[in-house]
Amino acid sequence: MQVELSGLRAGYGGRVVLALDALSIADGEHTLVLGPSGCGKTTLLNILCGIDVPVSGSVTVSNVRLDTLSVSQRDHFRGRQIGLVMQRLHLIPALTVEGNLRLAQKLAGFKTDDTHIRGTLASLGIADKLTAQPRQLSQGEAQRVAIARAVINRPALILADEPTSALDDGSCDSAIDLLFSQAKSCGATLIVATHDQRIKPRFSRVLQLSKAAA
């Protein structure tokens, strides 16, 4: 199992935002988490990557009980095991594309691997952007760099938060294509959280969250 949740209650300041009694996602079972804003999608991703811990219940990702780890242990786990694609792509503007990818490798505690960086950029069709500054990139190019950063450490789990909601239909399709192909090439399970109904048909497994869950 890639993900196992049980008896999960999560929230802030005494207010429960998300309740999931049980959830299992198998290795390679790409999953879409669908629901309107405020239903707890982001909270679920935060818990899966160890940014937040639940109020109660257990969280097991890649056979690690995240709810029992310390803050820095969870930081370390996230750096190595999780690839994150956020809605706001946010590359570090002071660093080049290469610098941003190297940073991700170093923060995970891996050696920097320039060959792997070039290969990943090439597989995303942006090999020529290696030494570009983030502000020189188009929106689409920046998203590809963000995807490259998410997969650069060959994570077990890729979490994507609203990766397509700002894109037109064509770009939306190609973004999902890239996510699938990258997840496949590094053997990762993909979980996408969105309110974007357009990509629903692409997933075999859909987890529908609603505000009523609280």
Partner 1 sequence: MNALRTALPLAIAYLRERTMATLLNIALLALGVGTIIALILTLNQAGQRMERDAAGIDLVVGAKGSPLQLILSAVFNVDIPTGNIPLADAMMISAEPMVKRSIPLSLGDSFRSFRIVGTNPSYLELYDAQIAQGRVWNKALEAVVGAEVARATGLTVGSKFAGAHGLGDGGGDHGDQPFTVVGVLKPGGSVVDRLIVTSLDSVWLVHEHEISAAGASTAKAADAHKHDENREITALLIQYASPMAAVAFPRRINAVSGLQAASPALETARLFTLVGFGISALKLFAGIMMVCAALGIFIGLMNALNDRRADLALLRVLGADRATVLLTVLIQGFALGIAGVILGTLLGHAATEWMGSLVGKIHRVPLTGWTWAREELWVIASALALTLLASLFPAWRAYRDAMPELLSRT
C-alpha closest to that of 92 among 162, 33, 52, 146:
146
- Locate all alpha helices (DSSP H) within 94-138, ordered by sequence: 97-107, 114-123
Number of Cβ within 10 Å of residue 184's Cβ equals 12
45 interacts with partner 1 by CB under 8 A: yes
What tokens were used for 64? 């690690």
> What is the spatial distance between Cα 196 and Cα 88, in angstroms, rounded to a whole number?
16
**β 205-208/64-65 pair status:** unpaired
Residue 76 sits in the site that holds partner 1 (CB under 8 A):
yes
Contact window for partner 1 (CB under 8 A) among 69-77, 119-127, 177-185, 204-212: 69-77
User: From residue 2 to residue 31, what is the string marking binding to partner 1 with x (rule CB under 8 A)?
Assistant: ------------------------------
Is residue 145 close enough to count as binding partner 1 by CB under 8 A?
no
User: Counting contacts by CB under 8 A, is residue 115 touching partner 1?
Assistant: no
How many residues in the chain? 214
Member of 162, 164, 172, 191 binding partner 1 (CB under 8 A): 162
93 near partner 1 (CB under 8 A): yes
Using CB under 8 A, list all residues that contact partner 1: 42, 45-46, 49, 51, 71-72, 75-80, 84, 86-88, 90, 92-95, 99, 103-104, 106-109, 149, 161-162
